Structure 1
Amino acid sequence: MSDFDKLHRFLFTQANVRGELVRLDESLKNIVHSYEYPVQIQTLLSEMAAATSLLTATLKFKGEISLQIQSKGPVSYAVLNATHEQTLRGVARWDETLETLPDTFSELLTQAVLVITITPDEGERYQGVVALDKPSLAECIEGYFAQSEQLATSVHLMTDMSDPKNAKASGVLLQVLPTDASATDVSQANEFAHISKLTETLTKEEMFSLSVEDILYRLYHQEDVEMYPAKDVTFACSCSKERSAEALRHVEKSELHAIIAEEGAIKMNCQYCHAEYRFDSIDVEAIHNGNFDVSSSNQ
């Protein structure tokens, strides 16, 4: 059985460091092939997907994380959403007038920021912003943790775009566990640095060809590592006709009827999965009367 599209969590029991490893394959297809993306944007979205999966695993509650890039460069916007159940979806916008796109992260995204939004199912939403002023997404995420969480964190992201129809992405996250007294302990810092250095020796070929067990043994066979059950990672979109109807409820009814008179129906398309939801005049009346039922909708 393949251990792609699974998130693996592990713990260095003697070092007070936790780790995560994710490899994505099938779960990427509906993201990177949802539009005719150039390979540079497929690579960016693949890295973001791996990173978002890793960050979602840090949640201690039910909810979701969104990684959103805003840029004045060739890529103007990119977003990846993930839930605590490891469902992913994402989309990007770029300057389609350009014949070619730069290959480097820094050139693709200029004057850019990364907005990380954490939305629990219950409780207040948290949002952090970090400048994308480092050579890679991984380094920028490390900077986010240093700035906001003040926890030593190491992030490694890789992609394999050799098969245009089968993009692959992977990521490893290492993080010091917070403790009551030793958060700044020198020995703990040394242990974390040692484990991080070991992780840096992993090659792309090893990452995408070996089993997860072999990868962990190859890197950490001299460490005491405890593994936890893997969690499946899938593509899933949270759009629905009910959510679309709720959005229409905030639009003037007369404006909605005018659209229907001109176009025959209101059509709402999901930018993530391309699902189309249609609403007629009967639907509009039901929405604004507060008794819309998707099962009885005419469209």
Structure 2
Amino acid sequence: MNAYDNSQRFLFDDTDIRGEMVCLRDSYAHVLAKHSYPEPVAELLGEMLAAAALLVGTLKFEGLLVLQARSSGAIPLLMVECSSNRELRGIARYHAEQIGSGGSLAELMPDGALAVTVDPAQGQRYQGIVALDGVNLSACLSSYFATSEQLPTRFWLHADGRTARGLLLQQLPPDRLKEPEERAASWQHMTVLADSLTAEEQMGLDNETLLHRLYHQEVVRLFEPQPLVFRCSCSRERSAGAMVSLGEEDALKLIEEQGGEVVIDCQFCNERYRFDAADVTQLFHGGGSRRPSDTRH
């Protein structure tokens, strides 16, 4: 297993708190390789990728988790998807002339809002929204859980354009600790210790060492790591579906207007899918999309 692309759950045996740690390297590199992002954009996108992977680890569902941040500033869009199969992809939109060598979240994404969407394969879609008014993405996500009716959850996220790391703590329903005062004291104790973690420690330490440094006086169970990979869900078949939705007459007219072929671009991975008149005729007359004419992709 790739030591750098996984999430790993841990559990405190003496209290009702669980945690998750994420490390992304190859999958993060795949996302960044598709676009030439300035450093501040790449770092924020890495934090979003780590956050999505952490959140998927807390959910029991089949489907897709989407984090989408929008603003009126230098970075108008950050979007990350992580499936229940732990497949990641992400994209950012930015105004290059407004990007400097750094900048806080508030400076890069003023008037921003973050939408957290859970889209299960079966069942009802859920979305929550939080303002991007915290000092960083970790604070904004922590605030989202603090103000919602969900379980109290805290995040610690860092990324440097090469590696993205994340730590999550979540308070569970009462089991080992029943009294509200005990639960509150335990939660404060664990989060205060996590707050002592420096960016250098989180980026440089392996999971076992990190947990020992923070919680060597606690009884902690560390579970097996779960792999994470970059994978884009685009395909020629899905693009062909978009052509079919136009209807044969309109699809052929569009191809004529476009000079003989329509090119459908995937914004996430930059893949291009080309369709000419022969492809469209094939689509509408039972030939499918897997055998394009002279064009490929």
| TM-score with structure 1 setting the length | 0.91
Aligned match of 1:157? 157
Q: How does 1:160-179 map to 2 (within 5 A)?
A: 160-161=160-161, 167-179=162-174
Aligned match of 2:206? 211
Shift of 1:180: 7.7
Aligned match of 2:42? 42
Aligned match of 1:260? 255
Structure 1 portions without partners, runs of 5+:
162-166
Aligned match of 2:125? 125
CA contact (8 A) 1:101 1:108 kept: no
- 1:198 matched to 2:193? The reply is yes
Q: Which amino acid aligns with 2:122?
A: E
Aligned to 1:149, what secondary structure does the other structure show? coil
- 1:32 matched to 2:32? The reply is yes
CA distance in 2, matches of 1:13, 1:99: 46
| TM-score with structure 2 setting the length | 0.92
- 1:116 matched to 2:116? The reply is yes
Deviates more, 1:258-267 or 1:73-82: 258-267
CA distance in 1, matches of 2:195, 2:287: 55
Deviates more, 1:109-118 or 1:248-257: 248-257
CA gap of 1:108–1:270, structure 2 versus 1, over 3 A, is same
Shift of 1:240: 0.7
CA contact (8 A) 1:3 1:211 kept: no
Structure 2 portions without partners, runs of 5+:
none
- Residue of structure 2 aligned with 1:227, choices 218, 222, 225: 222
Deviations, residues 232-278 of structure 1 (Å, cap 9, x unaligned): 11111010111111122222533422332242211111111111111
CA distance in 1, matches of 2:173, 2:151: 7
Q: Which amino acid aligns with 2:117?
A: T
Deviations, residues 126-169 of structure 1 (Å, cap 9, x unaligned): 111111111111111111112223422111011234xxxxx111
CA distance in 1, matches of 2:146, 2:58: 15
CA distance in 1, matches of 2:292, 2:155: 47
Deviations, residues 165-200 of structure 1 (Å, cap 9, x unaligned): xx1111100000124897871101111111111112
CA gap of 1:230–1:180, structure 2 versus 1, over 3 A, is closer
